[in-house]
Amino acid sequence: MTDKKDNKPKLKLVSDNDSRNSKDKKSNVIGGELTAKQMGFCRDIVFNDMTYIDAYRNNYNVSDKTKGNSLRAMASKLRADVNITLTINRLLEQKQQLQRMNEVKRSDIILQKIEKMADDINVTDAVRLRGLELLGKHHGLFTDVLKVDDKRDRSSTDIENELLTKLNSIISK
C-alpha cells in the first residue's frame, strides 16, 4: 500500500501580475486608466464642447441605425463611470487654469503696449495722455467710489433717526 500524500507534486503559486498593471494603484496621469476611446470622449466634452451623444458618436463605432434613445443611454452610462467623471473634472480644471493664464498674459501684453505708447515721444500728446490715464485706471489711481463698512449694530429706528438728522442738516443749509 502506497501513501498518496507523498506522490502529490509540490505546487508553487506563481503570479504574472506586475505591480505596474495593478488596478489597485491609482495613476497620477489624467485618464491613465482609460482607453483611448474613453479619453477621446472626455476630451471632446471638455475641449470641443460636444454633447455626450456627439462625443460618444465621435469616438465609438455607432451604426447609423442606432436609435437616439439607445445612443443617449450608452453615452449617459459612459459619463456616469467614476473614472470618466474624475477625468472630465480634471480636464475642466486644466482648461480653466489655461484660460486664466492666457488672460493674465493678454493683459500683460496690453499693458506693455500702453506703456510703450505713453513713453513714445513720436505719438501725439492726446494719445500719450490717454495711455497714462489707462495705466492709472488699471492701478486703481482714479477711484470715485468710497467704500465704507459700518459694522455697528443698529436697529432700523436708529438708522431712520440718523438719516432724518442728516437730511434736516442738509435742508437747513
13-50 pLDDT, tens digit each: 776 555 444 444 444 555 568 899 999 999 999 999 89
29 in Cβ contact with 71 (< 8 Å): no
The residue extents of the domains of the chain are 29-138
Between 117 and 93, the more confident residue is: 93
Amino acid at 98: L
Q: Are 78 and 84 in contact (CB under 8 A)?
A: yes
- Using the predicted structure, report yes or no on whether residue 152 has a pLDDT greater than 80: no
CA-CA-CA-CA torsion for 28, 31, 34, 39, nearest 10 degrees? Answer: -170
Give me the mean pLDDT over the 86-97 stretch.
93
Mean pLDDT of all residues belonging to the chain: 82
* Cβ proximity of 30 and 87 under 8 Å: yes
Q: At what angle do helices 82-119 and 36-47 cross, to 10 degrees?
A: 40
Residue 27 has a pLDDT of 47
From 53-62, 80-89, 138-147, 164-173, the region with the lowest mean pLDDT: 138-147
